[in-house]
Amino acid sequence: MQEYMKSAMPYYGVPGPQQRAIWTRIFRANTLRSRPEWRNAALALWRGAEFREERYAAVALTDLRMYAAYRTMPSVPMFEEMIVSGAWWDFVDAIATHQLGDVLRAEPAPMKRLVRRWARDSNLWKRRAAILSQIRFKGDTDLKLLYDCIEPNLVDTLSTRETPGSRMARQFFIRKAIGWALRQYAWHDPREVKRYVKANRARLSGLTAREALRNL
C-alpha cells in the first residue's frame, strides 16, 4: 500500500472496508458536540498521525453526515491545512469532492470567491482541489465557475524556480483533474463538453481531452 501510494508515511495495511468499519464504530461511540470539538478531534488525528490510515480517519471524520452543519466557511482553514500538508491525490481528491463541495453548496458566494483564488494559487494541490470541487454537482454545476477554475490552468504558469520533476507532476495532476471535471459534467451535458473540448483543443493536453471525452 505504501509503495502504491508513493507514501513516505507508512501504512498499517488495513484495507478500506475494514477502515470504514472501524471508523463507524468509533465515531458513533464518541459523538462530538460542537464545531470546535469536531475540528480539534480531526486535527489531532491529522497532525498526530504516524500511519496513513490515521489521516484517512481524520478525513472521514470531517465528512460524516452527522457533522454536515459544520462544513461551512469557518472550517475551510482546516481543509486547507489537510490539502496543503497532505499534498497527494488520495487526501486532496477526497476533501475537494466531498468537504469542499459541501461548503460550496452551503455558502456559494464566499466559497466561489475562494475557489477562484485557489485555482490561481501557487500550490498545485489547491489548484486541483478548486477544479474538482464540483465533481458531484451534476446538473447543479456552475459552468462558469468550472471554466473559471480551468482557465488559469490551461496556460503554463510555471515558476522559473520549479524543478523539471515538480513541473511534470504539476502538469499531470492538473491536466488529469481538468479532464475528470469535464468528464463528470459530460454525464449531464455531453454536447457542451464536446463543444468546449473542440473550441479549446489547441490549449488542452492530449491527456485532458481523452479524459474529458472518455465516456462520450
Query: Residue 90 contacts by C-beta under 8 Å, 6 or more apart in sequence?
Result: 5, 56
How do the domains of the chain map onto residue ranges?
Answer: 1-70
Neighbours of 58 (CB within 10 A): 22
Does pTM surpass 0.85? yes
Residue by residue, pLDDT tens for the chain (216 residues) are 999 999 999 999 999 999 999 999 999 999 999 999 999 999 999 999 999 999 999 999 999 999 999 999 999 999 999 999 999 999 999 999 999 999 999 999 999 999 999 999 999 999 999 999 999 999 999 999 999 999 999 865 444 455 555 566 668 999 999 999 999 999 999 999 999 999 999 999 999 999 999 998
Q: What is the pLDDT of residue 165?
A: 55
Sign of CA dihedral 73, 115, 177, 162: negative
Alpha-carbon torsion (144, 91, 24, 20), positive or negative: positive
DSSP state of 160: T
Smallest CA-to-CA distance from 32 within 23, 42, 22 is with 42
- What's the confidence (pLDDT) of residue 20? 95
